[in-house]
């Protein structure tokens, strides 16, 4: 009985050590394509500009996923200032952000 307990405890410890500490789920580009629908109006336009008010919009296709995740979180928290982006980012879940980032990261630059 004692040997079985030691073996079970050792296996449980090994499983905890082998698991990454706060593993972040990968984004799903296919799910991100559907979730990025509203993003595409500005961030995938031919001119990368907004009609009203008129300003340049950054091209995010081809950016690294982690950069997009960081940017969206910064907009949501208010660390980056843009009222439209803040509202959009605050409406996204953590998984939505990762999916959208994965979608845009796989796009050509």
Task: Note whether 10 and 83 are within 8 A (CB).
Answer: no
pLDDT truncated to tens, each residue of the chain (109 aa)?
Answer: 555 444 444 444 444 444 444 555 689 999 999 999 999 888 887 776 666 667 788 889 999 999 999 999 999 999 999 999 999 999 999 999 999 999 999 997 5
Q: Dump pLDDT digits (tens) for 60-80.
A: 999 999 999 999 999 999 999
3-class state of residue 49 by DSSP: strand
Q: Which residue, 27, 29, 77, 84, is CA-closest to 51? A: 84
- For residue 87, what pLDDT is reported? 95
The confidence score (pLDDT) of residue 28 equals 96
Phi (first) and psi of residue 46, to 5 degrees:
-65, -35
Give residue 108's pLDDT.
74
Contacts of 94 (CB under 8 A, 6+ apart): none
**Do 46 and 57 meet the contact criterion of CB atoms below 8 Å apart?**
no
Q: Which domains does the chain have, with CATH numbers?
A: 28-105 (1.10.760.10)
Q: What is the pLDDT of residue 19?
A: 44
């Amino acid at each position: 009985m004692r040997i079985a307990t030691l073996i079970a405890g050792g296996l449980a410890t090994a499983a905890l050590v082998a698991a990454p500490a706060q593993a972040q789920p990968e984004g799903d580009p296919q799910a991100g394509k559907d979730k990025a629908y509203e993003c595409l109006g500005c961030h995938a336009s031919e001119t990368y500009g907004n009609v009203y008010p008129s300003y340049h919009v950054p091209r995010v296709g081809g950016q690294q996923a982690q950069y997009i995740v960081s940017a969206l979180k910064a907009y949501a928290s208010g660390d980056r200032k843009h009222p439209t982006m803040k509202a959009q980012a605050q409406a996204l879940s953590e998984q939505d952000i990762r999916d959208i980032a994965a979608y845009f990261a796989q796009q050509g630059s």
